[in-house]
Amino acid sequence: MQRRIVIIGGVAGGATAAARARRANEHAQITLIEKDEHVSFANCGLPYYIGGEITDRSKLLLATPRKFHQWFNIDVLTRTEALRVDRQARTVQIKSRETGEIRDLPYDRLIIAPGASPIVPPLPGIDAANVFTLRNLLDTDRIKTYLDERSGGNAVVVGAGFIGLEMVEMLRHRGMNVSLVELAPQVLPPLDREMAHMVEVELARQGVGLHLGNGLKALETDGNVCKSVVLNDGTKLPADFVMLAIGVRPNIKLAQDAGLDIGKSGGIRVNATMQTSDPAIYAVGDAVEYVHGVTDLQARIPLAGPANRAGRIAGEHAATDQASPMPTVLGTAIVRVFSVTAAVTGCNRRCVDMVGGKMKAVYVPARHHVGYYPGAEEMIVKLIFNPDNGKVLGAQIVGGAGVDKRIDVIATAIRFGATISDLTTLDLAYSPPFGAAKDPVHLAAFVAENHLRGVDHLIDPMDVATLPPEVQIVDVRTEEEWKAGHLDRAVWIPLHEIRTRLNELDRSRPVAVTCRGGQRAYYAARVLKQNGFADVRNISGGMLMQAHV
């Protein structure tokens, strides 16, 4: 088909769409418009270049205009802005940011990938020379040049999402004193509060000043330089460098002006082949709505993975009128914060509550490979499922090595509608340097399955503080562990003594058992249950989780 395909916007969505369109249709005339200088770059790698972990800037340039032309016969117009779309005439009005020339570009199919822009609050001093946002290579170069010309100093990062935390780590690596400001009461909003707290502990351990539940109120400047950041509670933070990582807003003005439908979440509405309300126009990337894989609701999920997949589908369909449908999106994401890795997929507690669903969660500590092989690192898996049918709804994992593997396994399982029972039967690779015969995914699923079958009734760690006084709390850890700290109401009966000290407990009263992480408490609960104790429950995650609730 000799059709004219115009693509507005590059990077993950637009650049992928362009390349896929060419591979699907050698005879199409394809033009890619990008308002900035670089059409395809590794935006997820920008913080690591600033921090010095990536040393070669050219490695961030995934594809140049020349490469697009030589490899794919695609015309790339950089520093060119799309001003308006005329749907009746099927033209895009474009303007060269170098010459000022304005002209109309005709299309048969149009793909828009406008992306999103950093949220910048309208405060005096927000445009100071040492206040930055990070969205593209131009931002990166400005930040790196500024930091390279200085040594040490005080940095304030506003926003504790993925980019904010990556920048915190990189700025600490550069020797700066870093304060992290977040309006929400926790870091990493996609995680539940107790899991995010593990990341906060690591940030504090690394010397990062945490200011949670506290927003940005003002910037105090001297000329064109910000000297301090003032928070809502009046706290004043000295600032030689300020990074705004508050979040992003979808760039939907072009679509709105063209009369395309905008969804409830504020993103461009598309169908399964990424077509907008105008079938000749497609939209991909951070500005569109995707179908969430658990809630079935339309949601904006500004991540590189969905943008790439959407671009691939839009490019093929624009070129051939055929493509596989866009799969649902789970928001699977991962971030390294110094020595800790945090990952999430599917629904968290707030997500389930929002759609009025049922959920149960288990918390399981496990090592990323067998303990007898040197270097085993611990992670805590939070596995969320529907207690009525066992369907897996989501997971959050925080720990050391191996977190990425487990979150990807669970994300894959959720994508195909897996249940807890399905997770217990997964045939995963095992060798001492890589894993265990009972993988952390298996262990979490075993605990959840025991709960579903009524073998082991679980108490959510957040509910321990409100247990009624008639509940007997039994701690079955060692004496050393007990002396290091325990629940106020607990009685200490080590696991190896539980069978000989049953008479110290009242069989007519409920019992809640705890240990370090849950395994020994499970063993003790089975003993109690089979010795006449009718109501026996296991505190999920044990004392490990009590440190984070």
Catalytic annotation, residues? 44
What is residue 324's DSSP assignment?
A: P
Q: Which residues contact 521 (CB under 8 A, 6 or more apart)?
A: 476, 513, 514, 515, 538, 539, 542
138's tokens: 């131009």
| Helix boundaries (H) for 244-395 | 253-257, 304-320, 349-354
Instruction: Label residues 346-364 b or e (16+ Cβ within 10 Å = b).
Output: bbbbebbeeeeeebbbbbb
Q: How far apart are CA 348 and CA 37, in angstroms?
A: 38
Map residue 32 onto helix, strand or coil.
strand
3-state secondary structure 153-222: CEEEEECCCHHHHHHHHHHHHCCCEEEEEECCCCCCCCCCHHHHHHHHHHHHHCCCEEEECCCEEEEEEE
Cα torsion 264, 268, 274, 277: sign: positive
First vs last C-alpha separation in the chain: 60
Q: How far apart are CA 277 and CA 275, in angstroms?
A: 7
160 pairs with which residues across the strands? none
Query: Residue 88 — φ and ψ, nearest 5°?
Result: -70, -45
**Residue 312 contacts residue 20 (beta carbons within 8 Å):** yes
Q: Are strands 131-132 and 281-283 parallel, antiparallel or unpaired?
A: unpaired
292's tokens: 């969430």
Q: Measuring CA to CA, which residue among 129, 123, 124, 121 is closest to residue 224?
A: 129
